[in-house]
Amino acid sequence: MNPEQPALSPLHQKIDAGVKMAIAQAIEKHRKLGQSISIWQDGKVVTLSAEEIPPQQIPE
């Protein structure tokens, strides 16, 4: 955590966790369906094939 930013409230922590879970689920869905995704990497947009997408750890 950045020392300049205040700690997140419990509600904001739940929202943050939910957003991260939704993103991981969407990435994993693309990987399993054989669809590519585009990400921001090293200052530019890079498209990853399904084979290049690492498996996601999705909490249950």
| pTM of the entire predicted model | 0.75
> 29 is written with which tokens?
């869905």
Rounded to an integer, the average pLDDT of 32-57 is 96
Rounded to an integer, the average pLDDT of 40-53 is 97
Do 36 and 50 meet the contact criterion of CB atoms below 8 Å apart? yes
Q: What's the pLDDT at 51?
A: 95
* 60 pLDDT tier (thresholds 50, 70, 90): low
Do 38 and 47 meet the contact criterion of CB atoms below 8 Å apart? yes
- Per residue in 9-39, pLDDT (tens digit) is 999 999 999 999 999 999 999 999 999 999 9
- Find the radius of gyration of the CA atoms of the chain: 15
Residues listed for the chain: 60
Cα dihedral sign, 52-48-28-59: positive
